[in-house]
Amino acid sequence: MTDTELMDLVRKTLFDVAPDLEGEELEARETFHDQFEIDSMDFLNFVIGLAKATGVEIPESDYPRLQTPAGAVAYLRANWAAAST
């Protein structure tokens, strides 16, 4: 997947978890919490949604790497190939 496709997936997953945010701009390097004040449960559901959509297993120790849209894209890019094999 390209970075653009991964960002689209991140956006879709976020909006599935928090539909009231749909249509909002995503700032790539700003945390989801700072942008949208999402709580820890919404963030957990976001991570679970990404894992289900991609097949990438995301351990809790990696959650901090997913706190920004750019971080989530980079994480998925780095781990997608491993999950696909």
Confidence (pLDDT) at 80: 82
| pLDDT score for 82 | 65
3-state SS class at 18 = coil
CATH label of the domain that carries residue 65:
1.10.1200.10
Give pLDDT, residue 85.
55
Q: What is the pTM of this model?
A: 0.91
The CA-based angle 61-64-69, given to 5 degrees, is: 135
Residue 12's domain comprises 3-84
With b for 16 or more beta-carbon neighbours within 10 A and e for fewer, the 33-62 pattern comes to eebbebeeebbebbbebbbeebebebeeee
The number of domains in the chain is: 1
CB 36 within 8 A of CB 17: no
* pLDDT per residue rounded down to tens, the chain (85 residues): 899 999 999 999 999 999 999 888 999 999 999 999 999 999 999 999 999 999 999 999 999 999 999 999 999 999 987 655 5
